[in-house]
Amino acid sequence: MTQYKVPVLPGDGIGPEIIAEGRKVIDAAGERFGFDVEWIEYPHGADHYLETGELISEETLKELSGYPAIYLGSIGDPRIAPGVLEKGILLTARFYFDQYINLRPIKLLEGVWTPIKDKTSKDIDFVVVRENTEDFYIGIGGRAKKGDSEEIGYQIGLISKEGTKRVIEYAFDLAENRKKHVSSVDKANVLSDIYGFWREEFNAVAEKHPGFTTDFNFVDAITMWFVKNPEWFDVVVTPNMFGDIITDLGAMIQGGLGLAPGGNINPKGTSMFEPIHGSAPKYKGQNKVNPIATIWAGAMLIEQLGEKEASDTIVNAIQKNILDGKVKTYDMGGKNTTSDVGDDITRIIKGE
């Protein structure tokens, strides 16, 4: 039996509840496919911060860097100012592990309601590859003349040649086994220094990939096309901040945040898998929210570990749970609990 050790950070709000279901499902897949996961729990998040003053230490990060994949619930708590935990834990981890790819599948499963009229699961099936370590997320900015009527604030975004090239190359590699169509997102018409550079690098990578089709999209326009013609897209590669914005839109067209998983990936290092939604503090402890995004992120995690068949089986089990339509949380029009959905998906995996 293959043994894996996976650090798990359940985090804040609904994090512990959804992570419990994700673990349950992965454990069931392990039983069926002959692997065992030892979960190593880490307490980082709001409570830990309030108790100890620590966000996440260099020592912990170093320890975590010994593992190929981390499972993360959600970070964020109303007792703490916005940004403290998000930057101090989530972004710190993304940067520390150089997780330069944020992989976000936008796939409408069959039987899921989409707000886009006349589109089906055949039309909404693409992947967003969001650059995850540069752009306006690097944390360079400042405020001046505080309190003055002339007060200013500024934030600098930057991209590097290497940082841009590697994420675009990843997008082309991903498209190789799909429809070989790669769409680039930028705002080169206005922010031409930063995103004109992005476009040049995209072109340079595209030139090395004959047989692929490509297109350029301004970020404002792509929000329109995601809604009007989602079937145009296969692999979408985007700078960090635009990727943040367009993947919330993507989550909605695939049925809502309860169904949207993501992976922060460093192909040769430590990756981290999480639902793209937040910690939803108002639902904390109610066993109410949809665990599917987290379970799906778990499927991405075990794929990263090399368990492709088990990963596909989890996604298929999610699909079956939805098509059966009997066990579902409130967001999908049901009355079941978080753990009911985890149990049902587990049952399907076990073939019961």
Contact status: 70 vs ligand IPM (CB under 6 A): no
Determine which residue in the list 21, 244, 274, 303 makes contact with Mn ion, applying CB under 5 A: 244
x/- track of binding to Mn ion for residues 190-229 (CB under 5 A): ----------------------------------------
Work out how close the CB of 347 gets to ligand IPM at its nearest, in angstroms, rounded to a whole number. 31
Beta-carbon contacts of residue 143 (< 8 Å; ≥ 6 apart)? 151, 152, 153
- Whole-number Å distance between alpha carbons of 342 and 316: 14
Closest approach of Cβ 312 to Mn ion, in Å? 27
- Whole-angstrom distance between the N-terminal and C-terminal Cα of the chain? 22
Taking CB under 6 A as the binding criterion, the range among 49-57, 85-93, 179-187, 334-342 that sits at the site for ligand IPM is 85-93
> For residues 247 and 233, is the Cβ–Cβ distance under 8 A?
no
* Cα–Cα distance measured from residue 101 to residue 263, given in angstroms and rounded to the nearest whole number: 8
Among the listed residues 8, 56, 91, 332, the single contact to ligand IPM using CB under 6 A: 91
Cβ nearer to ligand IPM, comparing 86 with 231: 86
Nearest to 102 by CA among 67, 78, 135, 146: 135
> Is residue 293 within 8 Å of 261, Cβ to Cβ?
yes
The one segment of 86-94, 151-159, 290-298, 304-312 that binds ligand IPM by CB under 6 A: 86-94
Quickly list H helices, the chain. 15-33, 46-52, 58-64, 84-85, 92-96, 161-176, 192-207, 219-228, 240-253, 292-304, 308-324, 338-350
Interaction partner, residue 272 (ligand IPM, Mn ion, none; CB < 5-8 Å by kind): none
Site size toward Mn ion, by CB under 5 A: 1
Smallest gap, in angstroms, from Cβ of residue 298 to Mn ion?
A: 19
Which CB sits closer to Mn ion, 292 or 349? 292
Nearest distance, CB of residue 266 and ligand IPM, angstroms:
16
Using the minimum distance from each CB to ligand IPM, give the nearer residue, 30 or 157. 157
User: Smallest distance, Å, CB 58 to ligand IPM?
Assistant: 20
Residue 86, contacted partner among ligand IPM, Mn ion, none, CB below 5-8 A by kind: ligand IPM
Dihedral of the CA atoms 72, 73, 78, 79 (nearest 10)? Answer: -60
Tokens of 67: 């593992």
The DSSP call for residue 120 is -
Of 201 and 244, which CB lies nearer to Mn ion in the complex structure?
244
Among 27, 86, 98, 343, binds ligand IPM (CB under 6 A): 86
CB of 85 to ligand IPM, least distance (A): 9
How does 143-157 read in b/e, with b if 16+ C-beta sit within 10 Å?
Answer: eeeeeeeeeeeeeeb
Nearest approach, Cβ of 274 to ligand IPM (angstroms)?
Answer: 7
Only one residue has tokens 């392990």, namely: 30
In angstroms, the CA 86 to CA 55 distance is: 10
Site for ligand IPM in 230-289 (CB under 6 A): 244, 276
DSSP 337: -
| Residue number with the smallest Cβ distance to ligand IPM | 86
From the list ligand IPM, Mn ion, none, partner contacted by residue 72 (C-beta under 5 to 8 A by kind): none
- Identity at 100, one-letter amino acid code: Y
Residues in the chain: 352
90 binds, among ligand IPM, Mn ion, none (CB under 5 to 8 A by kind): ligand IPM
Q: 39 CB contacts (<8 Å, ≥6 apart)?
A: 6, 7, 8, 23, 71
Under the rule (CB under 6 A), what is the footprint of ligand IPM? 86, 90-91, 244, 276
Under the rule (CB under 5 A), what is the footprint of Mn ion? 244
